[in-house]
Amino acid sequence: MQNLKVIAQGARYRGGNPMWSWLLHRVTGVGMVLFVVAHITASFLTQRFGSGAGMAINAVYESPAFQLVMYFCVIYHALNGLRVIILDIRPSLMRFQRETLWLQWLTFVPIYALAVLLILLRAASGE
Amino acid sequence: MTTLNASASPAARRTVRPIPQGRNRFERAMWLFMRFSGLALLFLALSHFGFQHIIVGTHRLTSEDTIVRWGLAGESITISQLFWRLYYGVMVLLAMLHGLNGLRQVAYDYLKNKTVYNAFMAAAAVLILAVTTMGVIALIVGVNASGATAAITR
């Protein structure tokens, strides 16, 4: 109960677009940690031992749905991280934080759209 | 009323975490590490994604490409294979440390009970260390021919 309250407080932290980008950065970051752990483990098992367990994990992230989610995580986390680094180098740009967020989404959309297109084309071709 | 949000102080509006000041050298080092490793991973991870998805294709993850790029265990290694092993070696080390420190910050915010926090971080550190070890072993030794062949023909 105590933990739920803390999480609820954390989820409401400050509010608005900057809050959601901060929260999304966390969620996508944790998501990628879980994926990379599974990815390396599966590759290791497959390569070393030709393991069926490794192949089974591979099959999960070969699915288009998984790839759509993981591409979102990677591209979002990369662009948002880059934005944070730029704002850290030039703190005076913090005045335009909301504008930098819109710019980030404007950059995100075409890159992610291209990724989605490639994933769906591959899925459609049944490769 | 020249500016919007004039009542909020600059500090209150700031949502990017500034570099930790004071004597905490560890936090300052980690703050810098997250920026530098993040920048490196931006290029490493995105090029890995581009290469694997656009050039190789996800549905050939267990294919011969990995053997060509990494080289087989027990065989002498070419310059190109050395490059790929170093590329993946740097990426796995940076990614795992970046992820572990990220988990630490998230856990610090949500796990207020110190015992729970310590247990979580111990488990996370063991998991990350195990995965890093697996990655580094695979890169140092090279692809195991019988294992990879079993996976290809399966």
pLDDT digit string, tens, across residues B137-153? 888 887 777 766 666 65
CB B108: neighbour CB atoms within 10 A?
A: 11
Q: For residues A115 and A109, what is the distance between their CA atoms, to the nearest angstrom?
A: 10
**Residue B118 pLDDT > 90:** yes
Residue B17 lies inside a defined structural domain of this protein? no
Nearest to B93 by CA among B40, B132, B146: B132
**CATH number, position B30:** 1.20.1300
Domain count across chain B: 1
Q: Name the A residues in 83-112 with CB < 8 Å from any B CB.
A: 84-85, 87-88, 91, 94, 97
Q: For residues A12 and B132, what is the distance between their CA atoms, to the nearest angstrom?
A: 35
Residue B30 lies inside a defined structural domain of this protein? yes
Alpha carbon dihedral B129, B135, B141, B144, in 10-degree steps, equals 130
Could you tell me the residue range of the domain that residue B49 belongs to? 22-153
Helix or strand or coil: residue B150? helix
**Residue B70 pLDDT > 60:** yes
Mean pLDDT in residue range B59-68 = 65
In terms of phi and psi (left: phi > 0; alpha: psi -120 to 50; beta: otherwise), the region of B16 is beta
Please give, rounded to a whole number of angstroms, the shortest distance from the CA of A51 to a CA of chain B. Answer: 7
Residue ranges of domains in chain A, CATH in brackets: 17-125 (1.20.1300.10)
Nearest to A6 among B53, B112, B134 (CB): B112
**Inter-chain CB proximity B57 and A47 less than 8 Å:** no
CA B101 centroid distance within chain: 10
Helix or strand or coil: residue B72? strand
Q: In this structure, is the dihedral angle defined by the CA atoms of residues B4, B8, B10 and B11, taken in order, positive or negative?
A: negative
Residues 6+ positions from A92 with CB-CB distance below 8 Å: none
Residue B94 lies inside a defined structural domain of this protein? yes
Does A62 reach chain B within 8 Å, measured CB to CB? yes
Residue B11 lies inside a defined structural domain of this protein? no
Say if CB B110 and CB A10 are below 8 A apart. Answer: yes
**Inter-chain CB proximity A33 and B102 less than 8 Å:** yes
**If you measure CA to CA, which chain B residue comes closest to A6?**
B110
Q: For residues A87 and B38, what is the distance between their CA atoms, to the nearest angstrom?
A: 14
Residue B135 lies inside a defined structural domain of this protein? yes
Tell me the CA distances in angstroms from A94 to A85, A101, B6, one per residue in order: 12, 11, 14
**Chain A residues closer than 8 Å to B20 by CB:** none
Q: Which pLDDT score is estimated for B15?
A: 53
- Convert the pLDDT of each residue in A52-104 to its tens digit: 788 888 888 778 899 899 999 999 999 999 999 999 888 888 888 888 999 99
Mean pLDDT in residue range A40-48 = 85
Residues 6+ positions from B112 with CB-CB distance below 8 Å: A2, A3, A6
Say if CB A62 and CB A70 are below 8 A apart. Answer: no
Q: For residues B47 and B28, what is the distance between their CA atoms, to the nearest angstrom?
A: 29
Does A6 reach chain B within 8 Å, measured CB to CB? yes
Q: How confident is the model at residue B126 (pLDDT cuts 50, 70, 90)?
A: very high
**Residue A51 pLDDT > 60:** yes
**Residue B88 pLDDT > 80:** yes
What global pTM score does this model have? 0.82
- Percentage of residues in chain B with pLDDT exceeding 90? 44
**Residue B60 pLDDT > 80:** no
Lowest-confidence region among A19-23, B45-49, B68-72, B79-83? B68-72
Mean pLDDT in residue range B5-22 = 55
Q: For residues B133 and A37, what is the distance between their CA atoms, to the nearest angstrom?
A: 11
**Chain A residues closer than 8 Å to B35 by CB:** 85, 88
Say if CB B96 and CB A35 are below 8 A apart. Answer: no
**Inter-chain CB proximity B61 and A58 less than 8 Å:** yes
